[in-house]
Amino acid sequence: MTVTFPEDSRNGWLIQLSASLLLAFTLLLATVAGAAADISPAAAKASQSRPTVKHGASRRAAKNVRIGVAGNSAVSRPRSSAGSVSSAPTVLDAGFERGLFNWNTAGVGEAAPVVVNDIVRSGSWSGKVVLSGDKGRSELILGGNGGGGTRGMVQFSEGDEYYFGFSFYIVSMVYGEPGAHNLIMQFKGNDDGSPAFGLGLWNYEGDDGEYKDNPKGLWSHGPAMDGDRFLAPLTEHAWHDVGIHFKASGRSDGFYELYLDGHLIDSRGGVSMIPDGAGYSYIKSGLYRNGGEIPGTSEIRLDAARLGRSWADVAAG
């Protein structure tokens, strides 16, 4: 079937159709605009919530970076071990530049050492130790304020590991022989017994003349050093530097390394630097002798005494 429209009717219909289409299009635009207006707050809220999540992730990431840096910095920091230099090593300097500071005279004996500036190893002052007649003792104990009390005395307990250095100069000496004490340094226990470790001066050719070429020398003394043994020859009127690396023990779990003028002259392991029956040991330096057996005048200088955690801490000079 063919539908025909009168001319005028066709034109009217086209106009009406155009108007309808325009109205529909207008309504559509209004609907879209209204929908857009209704959705905008939600969209804005969603838009804000998404960046919040993103920023939160950024903050977490940044926080992790900071924690990581701090953690790595802590891990990379050097750690101390036994015998090594700590981050802030403590060095006890008893080199007489401040008088008898860092020593005490609680066990001094018959003659007190004095501070002088005539013969020195380093700095401007040294300790003068003199025994005359039959006097037997003129010693200082390491640690303290120079007085007669033991406050500040350095005590070495089980497992303590240190380096100790000092220098000595022989002005005159009545040496004696093994059997008569003539010690210039000792590790003494807090008991009434003999020292476990001692360094003595003797003039002895040996039972078979084995030391006749250099009879004046440094000798060991005490059970930690396996008794009286010749260690090295010495000359008078010259400075000699002693260095001792040791680990204190009363259970035969210690050791020592003994250097004289830069040369290793003795070392032993599995030893007790703390005597049997003592709770700790401490260092004495000066002169301790059997004055009745070897009377006369003996005079030495002490200097550059230091206690530390490395050879660098106690080096003389």
pLDDT at 311: 96
Is it the case that residue 107 has pLDDT exceeding 90? yes
pLDDT at 279: 96
Domain boundary residue, one of 14, 39, 72: 72
> Residues 231, 266: contact at Cβ < 8 Å?
yes
> Residues 94, 307: contact at Cβ < 8 Å?
yes
48, 96: one domain? no
Burial of 264 by CB count in 10 Å (0-12 exposed, 13-18 middle, 19+ buried)?
A: exposed
pLDDT at 22: 52
Between CA 98 and CA 283 the distance in angstroms is 19
Domain boundary residue, one of 38, 72, 106: 72
108, 64: one domain? no
Does 77 reside within a domain?
no
Domain extent, residue 1, equals 1-72
Query: What letter represents residue 215's amino acid?
Result: P
Q: What angle do CA 308, 310, 316 make, to 5 degrees?
A: 75
216 against 2, higher pLDDT: 216
Model pTM? 0.72
pLDDT at 151: 93
> Residues 170, 184: contact at Cβ < 8 Å?
no
Does 86 reside within a domain?
no
3 state SS of 5: coil
Pick from 22-26, 37-41, 57-61, 105-109: least confident: 57-61
Does 271 reside within a domain?
yes
The arithmetic mean of pLDDT across residues 14-33, rounded, is 47
Gyration radius of the chain over CA positions: 44
Does 87 reside within a domain?
no
Place of tokens 């030391």: 211
Between CA 103 and CA 93 the distance in angstroms is 10
Share of the chain above pLDDT 90, in %: 70
**Ramachandran sector of residue 39 (left: φ over 0; alpha: ψ -120 to 50; beta: rest):** alpha
The total number of structural domains in the chain stands at 2
Does 190 reside within a domain?
yes
Does 167 reside within a domain?
yes
Domain boundary residue, one of 20, 40, 72: 72
pLDDT at 7: 40
For CA atoms 106, 107, 111, 112, the dihedral sign is negative
- Give the pLDDT confidence of 123-144 residue by residue, as tens digits: 999 999 999 999 999 999 999 9
Does 48 reside within a domain?
yes
